[in-house]
Amino acid sequence: MRSEAAPQLGGLERFASAGKGRGLRARRRFAVGELLLSCPAYVAVLAVSERGSHCDGCFARKEGLSKCGRCKQAFYCNVECQKEDWPMHKLECASMCTFGQNWHPSETVRLTARILAKQKTHPERTQSEKLLAVKEFESHLDKLDNEKRELIQNDIAALHHFYSKHLDYPDNAALVVLFAQVNCNGFTIEDEELSHLGSAIFPDVALMNHSCCPNVIVTYKGTLAEVRAVREIEPGEEIFSSYIDLLYPTEDRNDRLRDSYFFSCDCRECTTKEKDKEKLEICKLNDPPSAETVKGMIKYARNVIEEFRRAKHYKYILCLTLTPLVELLEICELSLDKMGAVFEDSNVYMLHMMYQAMGVCLYVQDWEGALCYGQKIIRPYSKHYPSYSLNVASMWLKLGRLYMALKNRTAGVKALKRAIAIMEVAHGKDHPYISEIKKELEDH
């Protein structure tokens, strides 16, 4: 029985989910591809690497953006976007002028600064908090180990260092809670190829619990988050999204969930582990590798993946020089050679390294190399990921664009149409990304 006090939004309501705390559930049926929820960002920050190609205010991608006249580091579509963003941008504008090239707070620090400013200027609930308020966010403070607490203290120090003019700071204990809340409830905004654009807080979207068998997917239209059904949802059914990359086997997924969100998943996928055997496929040899050899190679693969995960995106850490990129590609190729003696190409650890290698090839504009890796990745991706996966859509999109660049229009059209078919469900048929891809097809 629904409590009369339960907040509602359209065909959705907040409720107490057994064993999971707060949750979101359907009050009516939703069809595949149907929009359940739209949520404007409470606060958002554009990645520094995307300045000049995307508007700092609305995240629109376009040419001819106008610079902020003061710091000359923020870019906007027009005067309206600049005025709307000014209450947030002014936190950084003077600081960027002062620090110049030494201005480098993390996106987490930038988001937290904006939350503090927003809470002061808008103490009432916003349009982003119809179902869940930012102040209600779970912090999991009691579960933080010393390393995580130290990282938060470093973020607090950076907050004080870079944001001294426009912020009134609460005490250290309150800042620890706020940073812990941001770490557990922040969202990464990505483009159609899953490239990082920035970070944001979407309170109502954060109400959804996790499942490795999600029934919805979250996509972005600028700084607006949209939640659409990826399978039919019945009245009374809980709404689940995925917090993590679903490519990996059960143990890896739950390690990631425990490390970042402090819980383990008990969904059907995690209980049955039915996809794990395919995801960890071993080479079919006359003399198959021993269980000990397989176990050792899985451990090696996990260590390599963790090293890559800790590294930031190529653009941020490699000083934009080709030498480190070449070295990174060599590491990928060596790892693939080593793992390939035990794992099939469809093994998710092989796919992970191929994806990293493909990323390097794309960055150095080695289109043939990138295409070779992409062709090996796409079929296993389609098998391992759930229906309407953004990872699969983005891979088809990359392949389509590579085929077009290499003058293979027939293959390019086929791949781009496959991407569109997934994106029309995940993003909605009217999304600007889909319009752009259809224009690419017309232009070729």
pLDDT digits (tens, 9 = 90+) for 328-378: 888 899 999 999 999 999 999 999 999 999 998 998 899 999 999 999 999
Closest CA to 205 of 65, 23, 17: 23
**HSE of 343, CA atoms in CB hemisphere, 13 A:** 28
Residue with the larger pLDDT of the pair 321 and 329: 329
Closest CA to 263 of 15, 23, 21, 13: 21
Separation in Å, CA 316 to CA 53, 126, 178: 16, 34, 26
pLDDT at 323: 53
**What is the reported pTM?**
0.93
The answer to whether 228 and 425 have CB atoms below 8 angstroms apart is yes
pLDDT range class, residue 317, cuts 50, 70, 90: very low
Tens-place pLDDT, residues 170-223: 999 999 999 999 999 999 999 999 999 999 999 999 999 999 999 999 999 999
* HEC assignment per residue over 178-200: HHHHHHHHEEEEECCCCCEEEEE
pLDDT of residue 234 exceeding 80, the answer is yes
List the domain boundaries for the chain.
1-41+202-243, 244-280, 281-378, 385-443
Tally: H helices and E strands in the chain: 16, 13
pLDDT range class, residue 322, cuts 50, 70, 90: low
The answer to whether 13 and 2 have CB atoms below 8 angstroms apart is yes
pLDDT of residue 385 exceeding 70, the answer is yes
pLDDT of residue 314 exceeding 70, the answer is no
* CB neighbours of residue 8 within 10 Å: 13
Question: E strand or H helix at 227, and its extent?
Answer: strand 224-229
The answer to whether 269 and 212 have CB atoms below 8 angstroms apart is yes
Share of the chain above pLDDT 90, in %: 87
CATH number of 1-41+202-243: 2.170.270.10
Q: Tell me the average pLDDT of the chain.
A: 93
Query: What integer is the mean pLDDT of 373-396?
Result: 97
pLDDT of residue 426 exceeding 80, the answer is yes
pLDDT at 313: 46
How many whole angstroms separate alpha carbon 18 and alpha carbon 403? 48
How many whole angstroms separate alpha carbon 21 and alpha carbon 207? 10
pLDDT at 3: 41
pLDDT range class, residue 309, cuts 50, 70, 90: low
How many whole angstroms separate alpha carbon 258 and alpha carbon 46? 28
pLDDT at 6: 64
pLDDT range class, residue 267, cuts 50, 70, 90: very high
Whether the domain at 281-378 and the domain at 385-443 fall into the same CATH topology: yes
pLDDT range class, residue 5, cuts 50, 70, 90: low
Tens-place pLDDT, residues 88-97: 999 999 999 9
Q: What fold does the segment set 281-378 form as a domain?
A: 1.25.40
Query: What integer is the mean pLDDT of 23-32?
Result: 97
The answer to whether 22 and 132 have CB atoms below 8 angstroms apart is yes
For domain 385-443, give its CATH number from 2.60.40, 1.20.120, 1.25.40, 3.30.1490.
1.25.40
pLDDT at 319: 46
